[in-house]
Amino acid sequence: MSSFSTSSATSNSKLPVREIPGDYGFPFFGAIKDRYDYFYNLGTDEFFLTKIQKYNSTVFRTNMPPGPFIAKNPKVIVLLDAKTFPVLFDNSKVEKKNVLDGTYMPSTDFYGGYRPCAYLDPYESTHATLKGFFLSLISKLHNQFIPLFRSSISGLFVNLENEISQNGKANFNNNSDIMSFDFVFRLLCDKTNPHDTNLGSNGPKLFDIWLLPQLAPLVSLGLKFVPNFLEDLMLHTFPLPFFLVRSNYQKLYDAFSKHAESTLNEAEKNGIKRDEACHNLVFLAGFNAYGGMKVVFPALIKWVANGGKSLHTRLANEIRTIIKEECGTITLSAINKMSLTKSVVYEVLRIEPAVPFQYGKAKEDILIQSHDSTFLIKKGEMMFGYQPFATKDPKIFDKPEEFIPERFMAEGENLLKYVYWSNARETDDPTVDNKQCAGKNLVVLLCRLMLVEFFMRYDTFTVESTKLFLGSSVTVKKVERAT
């Protein structure tokens, strides 16, 4: 056997070495079959569950979409338990170059000809420069997070109440997208109101249009009137070209170039070309920030709503009591005292992580260990982790499929190291040397702040929800004003 390293999380175990089960089928046709099973015949979760049962293993070989002709090599080794998954965070063992979207990468035309920071491996010098700048930017802006978000979210509640009054229901996703874009643009563009720019009210729509061609190979739109083979041909067989969204992206670039002047000036001082900094800023704002909020906020509202009036009463009591003790002021210190609110946010990130996929290519031969076996992954092989399975590992979490609001309270905080939503453990922090989301702590704060603002206004609420190709669609049916 060639020299290898062992996953540090499991290095002391004496589990038997097992051949990685599974296969890739016939060349070309095996990848097509797996793609159809993944999108149409089985669906994502059932695709993985079926293979777990077939191979009696949470580690196995398969093809991952999109396959031919978008991805040259769709072959992956799947990691579906909490024990093997963290190897994907170990940059000494896995390479993260161009694997943000998995086995393919969209054309750099979508990013002005540059590879954004998210597609860079930490060993690349540009990664440290860009990631360092983003971390310093977030640190510099931290005093604006709460006031700017509160300003943006006030409009969300007004719109929801107006829609419920007029239509008997309100589309949370649309209103949340508007709020999210408003917050992100104001934060990164010197508090400029996007409505006062060339974007007007079109910012969220422009980002949505720009994101779709990049993510299309990974999703199914679920349109019943479109035959599966036709959707597969349109979305999963050939990449959608940038020229379809060129004018939309240019509007976004021009807006950030003009109104994020102080941020771009600072980037130039850090040795980053202004053009490259602006394209990276658009990516940060649209793909990372807005794109993440587009998924995580509806998930938060859906799961809290499903918790029912009992949970709502407990949250409202905790939030209002602590804010009252703080003389009516919503501060970071006050939010940090809300133990149930914090636990609820972590539980949402556990049960429905915003980014469900992680990829990494082995830099060397690696031994990894699941709960019951050891496996050898050879240098150059691609590993894939599906986070919703890893963060619902029944050998780690009690009743893993259930939403338990108080799961991470008191001694439950010890389980936070198994919450993997941000390309790392929740207990880790982003640095220039890792691939953890630079805004990880900001996302947690904004989710808590959304609950604070919500339950300062309302006693309880009800929603209806359905699955989208990215996250959940949430319709608010009723809200009861705080008494």
List, for residues 276-303, the tens digit of each pLDDT value: 999 999 999 999 999 999 999 999 999 9
**Number of structural domains the chain divides into:** 1
Structure confidence by residue, pLDDT tens digits, 37-82: 999 999 999 999 999 999 999 999 999 999 999 999 999 999 999 9
Question: Could you tell me the residue range of the domain that residue 213 belongs to?
Answer: 15-479
Please tell me the chain's helix, strand, coil percentages from 3-state DSSP, rounded to the nearest 5: 55, 10, 35
Closest CA relative to residue 189, chosen from 240, 243, 144, 219: 144
- Pairing of the two strands 59-63 and 382-386: unpaired
Residue 210 half-sphere exposure toward CB, CA atoms < 13 A: 27
Sorted by sequence, the CB contacts under 8 Å of residue 13 that are 6+ apart come out as 369, 374
Task: Provide mean pLDDT across the span 223-250.
Answer: 96
Judge whether 149 lies within some domain.
Answer: yes
Return the higher-pLDDT residue of 5 and 82: 82
| Domain-embedded: residue 10 | no
Confidence of residue 19 (pLDDT cuts 50, 70, 90): very high
437 among annotated binding-site residues:
yes
CA distances (Å), origin 437, targets 3, 415, 442, 459: 32, 20, 10, 33
For residue 190, being part of any structural domain is answered with: yes
For helices 246-259 and 172-188, what crossing angle results, to 10°? 40
Give the span between the Cα atoms of 234 and 146, in whole angstroms: 42
Which run of H or E residues covers position 49? Answer: helix 44-55
Pair 100, 411: CB distance under 8 Å: no
Task: Give the domain CATH number at 143.
Answer: 1.10.630.10
Question: Which amino acid does the sequence have at 246?
Answer: R
Residue 13: pLDDT band (50, 70, 90) is: low
Q: What phi and psi, each to the nearest 5 degrees, are found at residue 79?
A: -120, 115
CA of 369: how far to CAs of 24, 76, 161, 373, 375, in Å? Answer: 22, 17, 51, 6, 6
Whether the per-residue pLDDT at 115 is higher than 50: the answer is yes
Under DSSP, is residue 367 helix (H, G, I), strand (E, B) or coil?
Answer: strand
354-405: pLDDT as tens digits: 989 999 999 999 999 999 999 999 999 999 999 999 999 999 999 999 999 9
Which 8-state DSSP code applies to residue 32?
H
- As given in the structure block, the two tokens for residue 8 are 């540090």
CA distance 207 to 255: 12
- Residue 3 is assigned to a structural domain of this protein: no
Burial class (CB in 10 A: 0-12, 13-18, 19+), 49: middle
3-class secondary structure, 213: helix
Q: State how far the Cα of 189 lies from the Cα of 187, in Å rounded to an integer.
A: 6
- Using the CB atoms, write b or e for 273-290: b if 16+ within 10 Å: eeebbbbbbbbbbbbbbb
Is 9 a member of any domain?
no
CA distance 192 to 205: 18
Residue 215 resides in a domain? yes
Q: What is the pTM of this model?
A: 0.95
Assigned token pair, 371: 């709960």
Asked if residue 221 belongs to a domain, the reply is: yes
Q: Any idea which residue has 């060397």 for tokens?
A: 364
In a domain, 8, yes or no: no
Largest CA distance in the chain: 69
Task: Give the β-pairing of 382-386 and 75-79.
Answer: parallel
Sheet holding 366-369, edge to edge: 5-6, 366-369, 374-377
